[in-house]
Amino acid sequence: MPQRRYRIAAAAACIALAVSASGCAGAFTQRLVDLRTSQGDAALTAGSLAEAEKEYALALKLDPDNSHARSGLARVLFLQARAAFIDSKLDDAQVEIAGALRYAPQDDSAKALSAQIEQAKIRREIVLANYPLYETVGASLTDSLKTLAASQHEVALQLKAFRSDFDATHLTKAIIAAYALQDEEHRLASRIVAYRGLVTSGEAKAQPPAEGETPNLLPVP
């Protein structure tokens, strides 16, 4: 990020030098601004957010009050903030949305996302402060999905085998694997419900495990 913005600043300095050397700075500047905003629009349409950010930022170096460049840059920063938020990169998301609001302070979507990010950061701090072991538990729940995937694969494998040799034994194995999958899904759902209850209850019910033990904070039906 710093290197990219350094390159933007360097390019803007070169443009400013060219403008100062021309005999009709105003018209030349406007042509450059129009070119940069046009290229920014094209990059934004193509989904090249980094390129769009660069072009709009260069336009604003030349004309800080240009509404087209300001709204374009605000849109880019909003999209980058949303992507970072979805990817759970809350600190990056907060930086990007703050930038978006600098250029479009009345944008409802940006304000709503800013509020979401702030609330997520508050919830994160509460969880980390009160439940230091829950990150481990959350990871264990994620790992449980691997077991579900293995069962799903077994069902698919047996059905495929049946289509090859038409041996009903494969269907029996598929049924057994499907029932196991159903049980695993129910168990995982119950653990997630319990996990949510502990996180939202505000009560520190978890105790650190003895050294060498694996934390087991949730009931396993």
- The secondary structure of 9-38 as a DSSP string is HHHHHHHHHHHHHSS-HHHHHHHHHHHHHH
Q: pLDDT tier at 60 (50, 70, 90 boundaries)?
A: very high
Given a contact cutoff of 8 angstroms between Cβ atoms, the answer to whether 58 and 7 are in contact is no
In this prediction, residues 64-88 reach a mean pLDDT of 95
Per-residue confidence (pLDDT) for residue 134, from 0 to 100: 72
CATH architecture, domain defined by 2-129 = Alpha Horseshoe (1.25)
* Residues 26/72, Cβ–Cβ less than 8 Å: no
Q: pLDDT for 88-147, tens place per residue?
A: 899 999 999 999 999 999 999 999 999 999 999 988 887 777 666 677 777 888 888 888
CATH architecture of 131-201: Up-down Bundle (1.20)
pLDDT for the residue numbered 89: 93
Domain boundaries along the sequence of the chain: 2-129, 131-201
Tokens of residue 3, six digits: 């290197």
pLDDT at position 9 over 80: no
172: tokens are 């029996």
Q: Give the residue-averaged pLDDT of 166-182.
A: 93
Q: Categorize the per-residue pLDDT at 82 as very low, low, confident or very high, splitting at 50, 70 and 90.
A: very high
Write the DSSP assignment of 77-144 as a string of letters: HHHHHHHHHHTT-HHHHHHHHHHHHHH-TT-HHHHHHHHHHHHHHHHHHHHHHH-TTHHHHHHHHHHH
Give residue 197's pLDDT.
81
